[in-house]
């Protein structure tokens, strides 16, 4: 239907005709340099610059969201310093002067710190304080102890409570003479520094998933499903609806002006120009006519519509594979696979970058292929594959503003058709072939880029409301009528194609998910906050945002070993790293609510799996040696889910156990274990990688059922 004009181009322009047009143009006084002019006036130039600026700004914003907002680094934990001495305390207001331990610098005035009475048992938090003054003084040391007068630098810091203290805190502060510990964050709250960084950046730049929300297919996935967790997805749906509305109003403007993938394709197309010219030469696409013919042939496949239909079919049948080809998830996913490792390396060194997975390699190869198509024609991905673009094209038919060609002024030079990256302009000939003069019209694939208007020698192409009729023109009317007749025939084929591909997609979705759901051997641990597996597959668009947001790269893509349904979806690779307790980033960057955003306290209770001790491998269980790596790691993270049990106990002649024989081995408490995988990561890092005592981690996390 979109390409209903294809049949209209029956004749090729002959060499003589081309020269005729050029002669005609040469007569036009408004033309310079014999009519081959690329820019037409300030307005066209302005439009072109504006479009590039818009694309650049959108791409930059996208980059900021992905590489800055979503990036978890640096992940400095809040500092605590011990040994501050309380020199004076005002027992009424809680104002306190502390002497800094040696080496501690002066504090910035106005900074807030938490004070802890380290001398009490257990240590008691005294509350949050603000630095009033912090200064360094030279102090004469006691001459008798050192044998001579020496000066030492002493830093003294005065703080006062941020809010009035509770009586207990005030009393504790008043009569504390022992050491005070100064903390940068509330010592009683679970650490949340990773989460806090994301909150700060989000409040400045917006949600990291905003860019993804622009994609109508991501929006459709977010909008699908129950209303239960609507809050997690509403932002995505609203942005997607807004973009779709905008693109409907201004004929597919998103693709031409905003889409960062489009901008990237444009840029690569620019780089590929010499190759493209060579390829065209090789394929003997030497002139405009052959070019039009070629692209017409490619266009006629309507492949992207069928692809979009299949993907949507599969998504609604249970597996959100739209992200395989939808432009924004494709871009973010490959930005993660291709560029994020360098960013991680810059912050933390190459040692902290996990090895590329096969999933990532496959994705990058496919991604490169999308760009490589540029050797055949400009915007090849957008024209031939992009399923979101197909949606925009469909909605673009309802456009209110767009480009149209004034047939009265058109001289049929077809420069516009040649310059159009999207093959949106189709030359046609009236059926009657009256006066032998052909015409051109703008189709629904137009992205409102305005390149055509810039090259039109006669100002025949203008951006305007569709309601504002051009001067009646018999030729154009006739062409429209003829296109209407032919589009009926084409509509049937198109409809059948869409129907078949939707069905095939749905069948694929149904079969993969039912296989995935019955696949009880699945050993993939999902991120904290992930929906149950069935819902997760339906909601996860494989955008890779959670990989980038994960501070330890604990989340990694599943390869083909999870089946096609799970390709590029996140799993916890606890051999590499465990889930950072101070972080809840993955749920907060997920555009579709496949991973729900959780508060830190909630996340620390969210069970993603259970650690299981492999008694054949575990060093104490296997009677090899003492080892408490997993215990220490679990304790440090504050889960306290690992206990010890004595193994290898020997009895003496009286049947009493002999002190000092056997080992203490780890036991996982299933009530407390959340499956974070820190234990597994530790065991793997030390016992497998560094010390080579084991071939596999002796404690491993499995999804809990």
Partner 1 sequence: MKKLLLTALIVAFSELTAATPFFGDEIILTTGKKGTGTIVAENASSVSIETSVGGSKVRRVVPKNRIYSIEQGGKVRVLNESEAGKKAAEASAIASIGSSAKEPVVRTPAEVVAIIERAGKTLPDWFESTPLEYPKTLDLSFPKDVDGWDNQRNFGQYVWDVINPNQSRWRGAVKLAAFLREKNKNRPEVVMRIDQTIGEFYFRFFQDYPRAAYYWRLSGLDKNLEAAPWLAPYLGECYWKLGSKKMALELFEKSQNQYPWIKILADMGELEQALELAERLAQTNLADYAFVYAGDACRTAGEYDRAIEYYQKVLDVEPTPQRTAENMERNTKRARANIVGINVFNRLDLTKVPDGVYFGESVGFAGTVRVKVVVAAGKIASVEVVEHQEKQYYSSIADVPRQIVERQSLKDVDAVSSATATSEAIVNATAKALAEGLERGAKGARE
Which residues contribute to the site for partner 1 (CB under 8 A)? 82-83, 85-92, 99, 101-103, 119, 142, 145, 152, 167-168, 171-172, 174-178, 626, 628, 640, 643-647, 649-651, 655, 657-661, 664
Cα atoms found within 13 Å of the Cα of residue 305, Cβ hemisphere only = 21
Q: Are 71 and 332 in contact (CB under 8 A)?
A: no
The CA distance from 452 to 425, in Å, is 9
**Least Å distance between CB 700 and partner 1?**
22
Q: Toward partner 1, which CB reaches closer, 368 or 651?
A: 651
Q: Toward partner 1, which CB reaches closer, 48 or 672?
A: 672
**Least Å distance between CB 218 and partner 1?**
46
DSSP 472: P
Q: Which two tokens stand for residue 242?
A: 């807004």
Q: Toward partner 1, which CB reaches closer, 123 or 223?
A: 123
Q: Toward partner 1, which CB reaches closer, 101 or 206?
A: 101
**Least Å distance between CB 645 and partner 1?**
5
Q: Are 682 and 629 in contact (CB under 8 A)?
A: yes
Q: Beta partners for 664?
A: 646
The CA distance from 73 to 351, in Å, is 15
Q: Toward partner 1, which CB reaches closer, 53 or 152?
A: 152
Q: Are 309 and 393 in contact (CB under 8 A)?
A: no
10 Å CB burial of residue 167 (0-12, 13-18, 19+) is exposed
H or E stretch at 188: none
Q: Toward partner 1, which CB reaches closer, 86 or 551?
A: 86
The CA distance from 347 to 583, in Å, is 18
Q: Toward partner 1, which CB reaches closer, 17 or 643?
A: 643
Q: What are phi and psi of 267, to 5 degrees?
A: -65, -45
Q: Are 564 and 601 in contact (CB under 8 A)?
A: no
**Least Å distance between CB 163 and partner 1?**
18
**Least Å distance between CB 668 and partner 1?**
13
Q: Are 296 and 6 in contact (CB under 8 A)?
A: yes
Q: Which two tokens stand for residue 413?
A: 């030079």
**Least Å distance between CB 160 and partner 1?**
16
Among 265, 227, 223, 261, smallest CA distance to 240 is for 223
Q: Toward partner 1, which CB reaches closer, 384 or 631?
A: 631
The CA distance from 555 to 72, in Å, is 13
Helix/strand number for the chain, H first, E second: 27, 16
**Least Å distance between CB 549 and partner 1?**
32
**Least Å distance between CB 626 and partner 1?**
5
Q: What are phi and psi of 17, to 5 degrees?
A: -65, -45
Q: Toward partner 1, which CB reaches closer, 110 or 147?
A: 147
**Least Å distance between CB 518 and partner 1?**
34
């Amino acid at each position: 239907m979109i390409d209903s004009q294809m049949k209209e181009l029956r004749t090729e322009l002959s060499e003589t005709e081309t020269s005729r047009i050029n002669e005609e143009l040469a007569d036009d006084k408004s033309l310079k340099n014999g009519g081959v002019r690329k820019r037409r006036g300030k307005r066209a130039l302005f439009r072109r610059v504006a479009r590039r600026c818009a694309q650049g700004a959108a791409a930059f914003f996208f980059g900021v969201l992905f590489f800055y907002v979503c990036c978890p680094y640096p992940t400095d934990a809040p500092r605590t310093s011990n040994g501050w001495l309380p020199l004076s305390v005002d027992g009424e207001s809680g104002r306190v002067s502390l002497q800094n331990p040696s080496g501690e610098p002066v504090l910035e005035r106005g900074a807030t710190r938490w004070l802890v009475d380290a001398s009490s048992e257990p240590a008691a938090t005294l509350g949050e304080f603000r630095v009033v003054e912090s200064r360094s003084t030279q102090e004469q040391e006691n001459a008798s102890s050192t044998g001579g007068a020496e000066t030492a630098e002493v830093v003294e810091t005065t703080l006062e409570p941020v809010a009035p203290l509770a009586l207990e805190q005030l009393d504790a502060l008043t009569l504390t003479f022992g050491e005070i510990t100064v903390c940068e964050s509330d010592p009683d709250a679970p650490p949340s520094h990773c989460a806090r960084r994301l909150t700060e950046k989000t409040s400045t730049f917006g949600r990291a998933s905003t860019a993804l929300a622009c994609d109508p297919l991501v929006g459709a996935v977010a909008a699908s499903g129950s209303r239960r967790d609507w809050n997690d997805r509403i932002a995505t749906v609203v942005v997607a609806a807004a973009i779709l509305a905008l693109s409907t109003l201004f004929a597919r403007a998103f693709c031409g002006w905003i889409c960062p993938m489009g901008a990237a394709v444009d840029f690569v197309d620019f780089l590929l120009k010499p190759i493209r010219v060579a390829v065209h030469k090789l394929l003997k696409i030497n002139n405009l006519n052959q070019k039009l013919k070629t692209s017409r042939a490619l266009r006629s496949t309507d492949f992207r519509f069928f692809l979009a239909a299949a993907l949507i079919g599969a998504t609604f049948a249970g597996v959100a594979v739209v992200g395989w080809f939808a432009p924004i998830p494709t871009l973010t996913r490959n930005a993660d696979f291709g560029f994020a490792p360098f960013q991680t390396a810059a912050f933390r060194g190459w040692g902290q970058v996990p090895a590329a997975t096969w999933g990532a390699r496959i994705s990058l190869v496919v991604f490169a292929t999308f760009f490589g198509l540029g050797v055949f024609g400009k915007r090849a991905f957008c024209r031939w594959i992009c399923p979101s673009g197909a949606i925009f094209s469909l909605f673009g038919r309802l456009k209110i503003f767009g480009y149209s060609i004034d047939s009265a002024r058109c001289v049929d030079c077809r420069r516009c058709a040649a310059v159009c990256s999207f093959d949106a302009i189709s030359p046609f000939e009236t059926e009657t072939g009256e006066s032998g003069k052909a015409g051109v019209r703008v189709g629904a694939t137009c992205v409102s880029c305005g390149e055509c208007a810039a090259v039109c020698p006669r100002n025949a192409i203008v951006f305007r409301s569709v309601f504002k009729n051009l001067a009646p023109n018999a030729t154009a009317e006739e062409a429209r009528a003829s296109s209407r007749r032919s589009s009926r025939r084409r509509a049937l084929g198109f409809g059948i194609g869409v129907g078949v591909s939707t069905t095939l997609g749905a069948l694929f979705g149904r079969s993969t998910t039912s296989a995935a759901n019955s696949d009880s051997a699945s050993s993939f641990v999902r991120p904290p906050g992930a929906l149950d597996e069935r819902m997760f597959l339906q909601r996860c668009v494989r955008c890779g945002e959670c990989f980038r947001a994960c501070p330890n790269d604990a989340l990694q893509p599943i390869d083909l070993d999870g089946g096609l349904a799970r390709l590029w979806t996140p799993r916890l690779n606890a051999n590499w790293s465990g889930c950072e307790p101070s972080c809840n980033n993955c749920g907060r960057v997920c555009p579709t609510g496949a991973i729900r955003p959780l508060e830190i306290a909630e996340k620390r209770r969210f069970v993603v799996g259970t650690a299981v001790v492999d008694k054949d491998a575990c060093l104490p269980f296997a009677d090899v040696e003492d080892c408490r790596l997993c215990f220490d790691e679990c304790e440090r993270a504050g889960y306290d889910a690992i206990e010890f049990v004595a193994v290898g106990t020997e009895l003496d002649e009286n049947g009493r156990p002999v002190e000092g024989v056997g080992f203490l081995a780890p036991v996982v408490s299933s009530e407390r274990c959340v499956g974070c995988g820190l234990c597994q990561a530790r065991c793997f890092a030390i016992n497998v990688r560094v010390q080579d005592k084991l071939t596999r981690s002796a404690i491993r996390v499995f999804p809990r059922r």
